[in-house]
Structure 1
């Protein structure tokens, strides 16, 4: 399967690179001292609905624009919804693998929340860097002017951080540079551009008659039904936030996870960390998306023997006894459904459905 991310580097490789980047920033004085974070919010804050003709701000809170044409592609992707796109003033900045300094990337986000003409905020791409700017965001301003924020992959850290600190419903969906098809666009319009109860989401497209689905086959790992607010995103980033003021609260919630380009034992290690932290046990149910290219790498096997991805998932989730459904249509895939973090949903692992019980915008 083709890699849909413009940065063909795994989340693990980005985290390894980050160690060197941190030292570089400390030596140049560009890494700002963390400030006290606001107390996590327990209230739900829904942003205004987006409509054709609205102006949205595009920012790059993680990795930089590598090719100038990529920015035009990202812009056109969001313009197809009828939006007018305004670029962040620092969107073309570069600091190694980052889109400028931490201060520059945070400044673009803060400005978009301040500007009354900006109705929503879309992201250029993922990569790495969102967790570095979380202490620099103006959460008081974000509460005063809630807006749609959408993206996935590394943007997971931003989405969870904003929701944790302000209660803002945020949107795990395609960034501008992510390739999207009709399925992804339909989900975007239904979740972000309609102030009505959303209903069933992330169900794979219909299988052509006379064929047996394989790639998008829904798999019930644990049957059952659970209801709770949605929280989650990319597994690496969810795990990366544990032990910080921005870590996700999974108590009574539907935890959704996806990943790309990690070997099964690394998936095992991250899920085990979430288990040891009590995050899996606290969840009401587990919704798993696509785990793209998460298989042993034959050219450089980490171990002579391995366990398959599906068996890792079964081993980690079945003993929990929580309703768990695998292979929902979200993650690093072209047809990426939009999942609203903070909105209440019902997972029916027996019937193989995930439904959002309310609107995510107002």
Structure 2
């Protein structure tokens, strides 16, 4: 683990925030919608970089240019933050083009999740805290920004930490229909599920399950195993909705590599159970099955770990901008999650 983690300075009302596409692009109407919400709701001034106007073919063929743009944004003294337009499936190809010295010389708040967890794990290795939010879908879906999301996004933009993250009163994983613009169906939140009795605090490492799996497979961007001692593992299963046993297999390999035992805590995001491109139909008890699989591996490889499930981060809504690299406290005695 880096000796010192830096939380880049918060933004201020009127700050310039770079809008870039280090993964995939979004169409111009969504780009405009999200930028309008940055201005009108948060009083931030989006600075749209060239990549945000490029098509997927150009972005696919130019990973070095995408990496260069991110480094340029870090180095620009007029830019206080950088937000990715959306996720994707190839950002790991950018990492070899990044110069960590250029990033650490001027730490800047980076916002992204899903495929952008590739870049965020890279930043973690160099001691820079980053936040889980993107233009799309964070700032494009729903007729208005959900009040729960707005509350914690304001903290991620303008405060030093997220602080205590309360459970959301409701949740949904429905796809938002941009054509109709109608509200999605929301469900009452039944709360989080805790395992273990110990209060633990550690730096947050992880993110999207798929991205963590890629980093385990490539073994090029993982921290030293000892860097994970005493940390908190955060995982969310994204719109991929993997079979619960696939999550178990990956965690089991982490156990066999001597990695899983190093985490003092495990935090699982509320799983998404719907995506229009899924090739299988998740059961109604998908979340329960996922929890059972995770706990079965923890019982074998890390029985003393404290775990909490159905935390508000990831691809179900509403969510908080998960701060990788920040200190997370999991306190089962009072059922509290806190980030500092």
What's the TM-score, normalizing by structure 1? 0.76
Structure 1, unaligned runs of 5 or more? 1-39, 208-212
Aligned to 2:177: none
1:139 pairs with 2:100: yes
CA distance in 2, matches of 1:60, 1:299: 28
**Cα offset for 1:186?**
0.8
> CA–CA distance in 2 between the matches of 1:71 and 1:298?
26
2:222 to 247, 268, 280: 247
CA RMSD of superposed structures (Å): 2.8
- CA-CA distance at 1:89 after TM superposition: 1.4
Alpha-carbon shift at residue 91 of structure 1 (Å):
1.9
Tell me which of 62, 68, 75 is aligned to 2:35.
75
In structure 1, C-alpha distance between the alignment counterparts of 2:251 and 2:57, rounded to whole Å: 30
Q: Once the 2 structures are TM-superposed, how far is the Cα of residue 292 of structure 1 from its aligned partner?
A: 1.0
Shift of 1:325: 0.6
* Deviation sequence 1:133-154 (CA, Å, 0-9, x none): 0111121111111100011111
Q: Go from structure 1 to structure 2 and tell me whether the alpha carbon gap of 1:214 and 1:206 turns closer, same or farther (over 3 Å shift).
A: closer
The separation in 2 between residues aligned to 1:194 and 1:276, in whole angstroms, is 39
- Say if 2:146 is the partner of 1:181: yes
- In 2, Cα distance between equivalents of 1:256 and 1:236: 12
The residue that corresponds to 2:207 in the other structure is: 233
Counterpart-to-counterpart distance in 2, 1:155 and 1:205: 24
Is 1:193 the equivalent of 2:158? yes
Q: 1:335 to 1:301 in 2, by over 3 A?
A: closer
Question: Counterpart in 2 of 1:205?
Answer: 168
1:120 aligns with 2:98: no
The 3-state SS of whatever aligns with 1:90 is: helix
Using the TM superposition, give the Cα deviation of residue 45 of structure 1 relative to its aligned residue in structure 2, in angstroms.
1.7
State how far apart, in whole Å, the 2-side matches of 1:352 and 1:99 are: 43
Deviation at 1:62, TM superposition (A): 0.9
Deviation at 1:177, TM superposition (A): 3.3
CA deviation after TM superposition for structure 1 residue 216, in Å: 4.8
Of 73-82 and 155-164, deviating more is 73-82
Matched, 1:323 2:301: no
Question: What's the offset of the Cα at 1:99?
Answer: 5.4
Gaps of 5+ in 2: 171-186
Residue from 48, 53, 56 that aligns with 2:14 = 53
1:292-328 CA distance string (max 9 Å, x none): 1189x997589xxx99223212212344220001001
Contact 2:168 2:189 in 1 (8 A): no
**Which range moves more in the overlay, 171-180 or 154-163?**
171-180
SS of residue matched to 1:347: strand
Q: CA deviation at 1:235?
A: 1.1
Q: Does residue 257 of structure 1 match 2:235?
A: yes
Whole-angstrom CA distance in 2 between matches of 1:73 and 1:216: 32
Deviation at 1:228?
A: 1.1
Q: Hey, what's the Cα distance between the residues in 2 that align with 1:185 and 1:286?
A: 26
Match of 2:179 in 1: none
Q: Distance in 1 between matches of 2:155 and 2:338?
A: 13
Residues 72, 329 of structure 1: alpha-carbon distance in 2 compared, 3 angstrom cutoff: same
Following superposition, the deviation at residue 262 of structure 1 comes to: 1.4
- Give SS of 2:203's match: strand
The residue that corresponds to 2:109 in the other structure is 148
Partner Cα distance (1:333, 1:84) in 2: 27
Cα 1:311–1:345 change in 2 (3 A) is closer
Aligned length: 306
Aligned to 1:339: 322
CA distance in 2, matches of 1:97, 1:144: 29
State the SS of the aligned residue for 2:270: strand
Matching of residues 342-357 of structure 1 within 5 Å: 342-356=325-339
The Cα of 1:224 is off from its aligned counterpart by: 2.1
CA 1:184–1:100 in structure 2 vs 1: closer, same or farther (change >3 Å)?
A: farther
Question: Per-residue deviation at 1:264?
Answer: 1.5
